[in-house]
Structure 1
Amino acid sequence: MDIAERLFNWFVASTLMASAVAVVVLAVQHLLRRRIHARLRYALWLIVLLRLMLPVLPQSPVSLFNAVPAWTDIKNAVLGVSYQWNKPDAISEHSQIENTYKPYYTTNEAEKNTVLQPLLTTDTEEHITAGIEGESHPAVRVLAVVWLTGAAVLLGYNLIYWLRFQNKIKRLSPVDRASILKIAEESRSLFSMKRPVGIYVDPSAQSPYITGIFRPAVYLPKSLVSETVNEQLLKHVIVHELAHYKRKDTIWNMVGSLVFAVHWMNPIVWLVLRQIKADRELACDALVLEKLGEEEAVPYGMTIIEFLRRYASGRSPAHLLYFRGSNGQREMMRRIRMIQSFKKGSYKFSMLAVILVLLFGTATLTNARESEAAPFAVAAQEQQQSGKTVKVDKTVAAKLQQVVNEFAGKEIKLKDVFKLAMGDYQTVESVDGKYALEFGLEKGAVLSVSGPVPIDKISKEDQEKILQYLKKIYPNKTYTFENEMKMLKEIGSFERISYTLKGKDFWIVLSNQKQLKDLLGLPELKPENYEIKTDAKELDKKMLKTASEAVKMVLNQDFNATEAILRSGQFDSQGDMLSKWQLKGNGISVGMEGEPSRVSAVGYDSKRVEKEKVKTNKEIPEKEARKVIAAVAKELYNIDISGYKMGWDNDFKFYTLEKDIENNKTTIITAELDANKNMMNIFSYERLQLNR
């Protein structure tokens, strides 16, 4: 028998026994479905992954497989009849299958890449000749070649893809928006992470994802960075990705990829890996809410809904890896229900849960004792081009034309070409530029359509409610809507409509999601985002004075605010958006929030800061930098940093000061200095957490 057949025999035995464990896990989850929480569900699946991955397992009298006496019959049914078998005790103790792999991970639905390089060896020369004698059935030899070929293709594909991906990320740019960097630092503090977390823009990304085991980095789609997105939504996204890192999902993702490559021939493994992905997201959501608190459940649920509809699985190109396809409406509803019912402390393992996992692991991660094991079980274990203009396909063009005509209620002339973008989904515009459609490049499925519609599509009553909403946010302005608004309709299993209403120096985005009305008790038409510009002179003089005094104290500059922007900020515990001000003038920006308004950030514009700030912590001795920051923090925030731990963020090039406070939170101050020890930028995270 050659090496391919020996490995195939090991594969069949391993995959069948692991499938039996998976069936037991499903039964346990079903029987205890009302008492078993997300983290425990996921832990049980990890035992199945280990069973699939480990080539050699110890024997035990308490093994589940002591109760399965018919492995020989199973083997004959699956492999076909071997012409002659030697005695089990003539077979070597164990063959070794050593697996080495590159540490790479991503939770992105569109780009999941793990390189797995198996190194297959045998114990000794005797192991090669010992065991099954005689010629195998021809079907076994064919299946062995097919299985090994498939595994080699998967591993080769992943290797090539990983190399290309590594080359791509070297060209990605770090996020330079101060607000996003601030959110990243605050998110990192929730998990008490000592390692810096890089934040990068990936123009080809379909959704946010995280990579790295030792140097984590979060990658955000270009659309998410360029759009005006409220801070809490961004925080939820980044916290969710960091929760994957904290839970060691990066490592388990690699294990899952190895399992997929080796066990691709087993359809039960496909089902198992799909379920693991779904339960992993539930467990991750539970950890996020454990850190953020129950009061964040509704806002976090809204964020999940927003991103699931934005980056639905239909938009992602097909990949060979298994982290794909569980973002359907059923799984989305399942996640939302978990979020709704979340209770503080439920993420932690109880003593009963720990005992259950230990007992289950002992029973399933061991083999039957040799005297009780069937010959098959023993034998099998012992044989171990972006920017290019492209013409629209005629079939796709017909689909797009039908959708846009139905949307507009008239004939709309579309361009017959589109500019190729990175990623799967592309955009085709109308000749007049007023309408746009997104479609999947791979399958040609229409994803969304947008264009101008009369504002009368929203009732006069609802328009009045929106105006009152804006008046409540900022009453010192007259709001008049334009006669047309932009309507965007997303097409898929979870349809969503949004409207963008504009007026002079303001806009507001409203979402209309009828499917969520009954589920979450939310109104059909709900404000999602807004921005209101006004002359800074219209603001309260006391507020302007506070901002000017802060700038004078921090930057030693006079500050004459000329522009004021009121933006949607975080959600409160009831799911309502809070507002925040950004004041601009003479190249300086001041962030203010709360009531009465308090200064949360002061700094020069980002281009100047990036140009003049020190890029390493070697340019200014730590003691001297701490002295400068201490003086500003005391006067601006009334914070004494004596007990704060000082550090340097090597990714974003700024100083950090941290101090643990109650409820597992950490107060953070970040500061950027120039070579002359002058303050360029400072943020306080303590104020944001205390007033959230």
Structure 2
Amino acid sequence: MLTLSQANYLSFFNWVLITSAKASIFIIFLLGVKFVLRHKIRAGFQYVLWSVLIIGLVLPWTPNSPISVYNYLDFFHLQQKVASIIDRTIPSSSANLADQQSALELAAVGDGNSQKADVSAETLGPSEEKSNTWISFPFVYRLMSYIWLSGVLILTILTVIVNKRFSKNIGHALVTDQGLLSEFNKLKVDLKIKTEIPLLKSRQVNSPSLLGLSRPRLLLPIGIEERFSLEQLNHIFLHELIHFKRKDVWINCLTQLLIICHWFNPLIWYAFYRMREDQEISCDALATARIDAEHCSDYAYTLLKLAETYSAAPRLAGMASLCGSNSQIKKRLIMIKSREDHRSSAKWSLLGVVAIGVLALTSFASPQVMANPPLYEKEPEQAIGLPKEFSDISSGVIVEDISGENFKGKVMLIKDPTRIKLAVTKDIGVMGERVSELVKARGAIAGINAGGFYDPNGKGNGAFPDGLTVQNGKLVDNNVGEDEVNIVGFDDQGKLVLGKMRANQLEARHIREAVSFAPNLIVGGKSVILEDDGWGIAPRTGIGQRADGTVIFVVIDGRQPTWSIGATLSDLTKVFEDYHAVNAVNLDGGSSSEMVFQGKVQNKLPNVFGERYVSTAFVVTP
């Protein structure tokens, strides 16, 4: 069974992949903007632009936006592949579904004539072999998660070892030259820096470098005072103290952590490499702004002499160094020579702010799939599923928020069960449709995903409904022949029908709308889920019915660590019990779990690409 810690880990891994994909799109956009405006905006502002990337990688949640790129780009194939990989609740065929239910043999309880629901004599639950989510979770995806974690651990260990070894070997040879100390302390006063920053000589550095977070030290190569004049050393001190004042060492440590987390993404490595270049260039810009114009050439000569004398310092997480690559030094010299005009660049900086803001919303924001808030909220102290008395509002539908220890979700109540219809993709065997499209196609006002689907051609596009599919009293799809499968549907009286049937039994039972899925959760007012039996924690969808005929749609979010981990079958059953369901059944879940009302998706989808393509949906007609 998938434990909570395993679910948390896989949810976090999924978030890392999604965030990395979003960041890649933003980096491409950002590099484009920087290229177009490279001669228009100041060096310091170009460095600040990278903070948007850092924020986007750190934020655990991003808002929905109508200008999100995911609203307009159809990542159909990638969406379906990702959803198919990470889903753990979809059986591969109705035969497997029947196997998964063979563990439970329970008789229906209660008289069908006395209740607005009808249940077949037998319901079944999952088998251990097919339903153990940790074992049945696709091997490739699990392997990817292991490789990612291994990479994170290896890079973390190497980073710690390298930094500790370097810190241990730098020595404690303090600079005693009073001329150097006087110039250094004078600059500290000018920059209003009160922190004690020792000047150390070390054979471990090939370039002047600022090292340390809590105990900063300025490291100088042995003999630097013999090669550089006091004025040139003053330029070096100014550059490094500006690094300290701007907290660049802290920023470098944060970016190193992000690189470790996203080590598999070369675009992120390259982006932070470019950020370090912009960090040095902007630091030069601030330094030259404090120097008289006639001395800027001396500052540039200092950089050139450093490049000729010393090699670039190692890129340690807790270090900011003055030297860089030859190409970086060249860019810095060009910047110093140009001495950008602040007045002429102000309007371009404003344009850059607007452009990056739009790009951030376009790249990092989630698609605009969230719906209006629930029609009414539960009181904070109200337990899950203890609903207020149903009031027949204009739409005849009520949507409520629910939450549990590890999950959040939505419940929809529909008083008239005869309004429930089945929507089926118009291109069975070719292409599935989004739930919102299925709702719209039937002229409905609401809906949830319904039955499972299988993928014989590896396209994962929701084209093939699994089991028996009945629409308007007609069998529209059958991939199990005369085999017996668990039916979830409604008869012509609006009674919820659950249980094993064959295709030739559907007409005799007056089945009007139906799909195949399992397991059943509540039969005749009694729970038949005694244990979760390996179904694990995941996004869930379910349907149930009260004794008075009210239909209950339940959708529970999952795979979102900062929002909702997901629910077990016991959790889902408990929700239906709290809403007084006499019959309830589990429907297709995972990335398919979705609730639509009045044209908007009500729940938070775990998929960055938005709605998944499915075969069927239970919808609420006007």
| TM-score, length basis structure 1 | 0.43
| TM-score, length basis structure 2 | 0.47
* Structure showing greater Rg: 2
